[in-house]
Amino acid sequence: MEKLFTLLDHNFDEMVAIRRHLHEYPELSFEEVETPAYIAAFHRALGHDVREQVGERGVVATLRGGKPGKTVALRADFDALAIQEENEIPYKSKIDGKMHACGHDGHTATLLGLAKALNAIKDEITGSVVFIHQHAEEIAPGGAKPMIEDGCLDGVDVIFGTHLWAPTPIGDLLVRDGAIMAAADKVEITIQGKGGHGAEPHHSIDAVVLASQFVVNAQQLISRRIDPLKSAVLTLGHFEAINPFNVIADRVVLAGTVRTFDEQVRQQMEDELESVLKATCQPFGASYNYRYTRGYPPVYNHVEDTAFIAQLANDVPGVENVITCPPFMIGEDFGYYLEKVPGTFFFTGAKKPEWEEAYPHHHARFDFDERAMLIAAKTLGKATLQYLQKNK
């Protein structure tokens, strides 16, 4: 293991250079062209078996060890976000309106640096390592599902993944078995009333008033319909009625998200949201259009593999604390992989010690401590070698 750690230390400067290059040239979900080409070329130079356009834009590279054995998959995403970067840094995004504001550039650099280190000792490895470089994590339906359908998990025995996490101090590793991240669904609603003069509401059906009532009424599903020992979040973040100030709106468009862990709760929210909408509109003669789109499933970590990571991480250089974290209501399509094969997903702290508070993920000034990439690579690398050795 010390040999791997030494190789990763040696590769760290290259990992930083890769991350900064990718940061300068971000590509959005389902628009990735140069990034997957860069990744494929890197793996080919190492002599790995490479498949491109997996699930449309993904890359899968396979390292085969000196002896046959089990197969470990490691996954990193590589898409960016439609955000104008506000950081003044030497490697600031060169593409207007696009930015790596979630750390996916770091995830990719971590996996490439680890691939190079493992390749240097491949003759000592019993088994294979599959590097899954996934496109389009940020936007449902995401890249994981089509990549799985295209065979990226064929022959895989276990999968590990991590997310560099800027709100958590560097040196901390966050783990949790069971549900660690929520299902992320989308709700789209149109309420159709009858427009009119602002002075004559009795001749109209005010869509703004009805939409406002619905927003408030819908929150009662969380407080009064959902089991208080279970979790759900409803956020209606879009409310649009484009009208002059003295005109009663005939139409309002709403959109939002529902986050859940439990499948029964998920179904209840989908069904009862429409019931509330119908009960709000019908008495006043308004009509509505309701669309509930299921996004990513919850991320459910397997107990044995989570305990495996938690135990080995204590002896990884740079890891100071292994913490059992609460579940997060954010979504991640890593859940699709865990529906197919055992594995676990964890968070690697990436907040710089000098920061009083980190800018959140998806913020125009997001950044992270690049040393977290080395911690993530060492943790994933140790997990890979230890798993293959234990199961040979």
CB atoms near residue 268 (< 10 Å) = 18
Instruction: Provide the 8-state DSSP code for 10.
Output: H
Establish whether 137 is a catalytic residue.
Answer: yes
Instruction: Provide the 8-state DSSP code for 96.
Output: T
Per annotation, catalytic residue among 137, 250, 332, 367: 137
Residues 6+ apart with CB under 8 A from 158: 70, 72, 73, 305, 341, 342, 343, 387
Per annotation, catalytic residue among 32, 79, 105, 138: 79
Instruction: Provide the 8-state DSSP code for 361.
Output: T
* SS3 label, residue 281: helix
CB atoms near residue 176 (< 10 Å) = 21
Q: By the 8 A CB rule, do 342 and 302 touch?
A: yes
Query: Measuring CA to CA, how many Å separate 92 from each of 27, 95, 165?
Result: 14, 9, 20
C-alpha–C-alpha distance, residues 169 and 165, integer Å: 8
Q: By the 8 A CB rule, do 205 and 194 touch?
A: yes
C-alpha–C-alpha distance, residues 360 and 166, integer Å: 7
Could you give the residue numbers annotated as active site? 79, 137
